[in-house]
Amino acid sequence: QVHLQQSGPGLVKPSQTLSLTCAISGDSVSSNNAVWSWIRQSPSRGLEWLGRTYYRSKWYNDYAASVKSRITINPDTSKNQFSLQLNSVTPEDTAVYFCARWGAGWAFDFWGQGNLVIVSS
Amino acid sequence: DIVMTQTPLSSPVTLGQPASISCRSSQSLVHSDGNTYLSWLQQRPGQPPRLLIYKISNRFSGVPDRFSGSGAGTDFTLKISRVEAEDVGVYYCMQTAQLPLTFGGGTKVEIK
């Protein structure tokens, strides 16, 4: 059974960087059959896919246009986890952030528990 | 971007009665590999979303058989044959056929 455990601060100041980590158990971040994503949820924007990282003989990343200039998703093979960095945050980035695995059925089959991140001074 | 539109926004249902949720995509979800990548998620209060159905009609592991999915192209439906108390929550359709991945706005299932 795959388990995703998220960690990171719940409060970030405007203009600073939001950083979250998703630790994977039961699968590998380097798996050739999985894709690892970050998704956020807010009352104003609903569920919003932010980006993904995956390994297919080399590492690939894709990001949503809405955050492309500010986002980095990195795998960490030594710790079997992946991370989200979102730069220059504003209050509009306040949301619950989820990590999730996109599995063989091309659907998000396992999710982290979610982190509420509030952007406020 | 593919826009996913769900109806109704809210569905009050009597326990033991059926419920049905519709999802329409602004473009066909048929991928170049021939598969249609439409899935359904359930989100109970205070929980992360949970996968129910993938590729239109395939139930994910552990999902009760009272949940079923159908549809093709741009029109899809999730049905609950007999609603139970544990089915209360918000249901989302989502497409993984094309980037960016997009979600419907959600349908709240509640007990009358």
pLDDT digits (tens, 9 = 90+) for A5-44: 999 999 999 999 999 999 999 999 999 999 999 999 999 9
How does pLDDT run along chain B (112 residues), one tens digit per residue?
999 999 999 999 999 999 999 999 999 999 999 999 999 999 999 999 999 999 999 999 999 999 999 999 999 999 999 999 999 999 999 999 999 999 999 999 999 9
CB contact under 8 A, A112 and B48: yes
Q: Strand A115-119 vs strand A11-12: parallel, antiparallel, or unpaired?
A: parallel
For chain B, say whether A43 makes contact (Cβ under 8 Å): no
Q: How many CB atoms lie within 10 A of CB A118?
A: 12
Q: How far is A99 from chain B (nearest CA, A)?
A: 10
Residue B56 three-state SS: coil
pLDDT for residue A105: 86
Question: Mean pLDDT over residues A100-120, rounded?
Answer: 96
Among A62, A107, A113, whose Cβ lies nearest the Cβ of B48?
A113
Among A37, A108, A113, whose Cβ lies nearest the Cβ of B51?
A108
| Backbone Cα Rg of chain A | 14
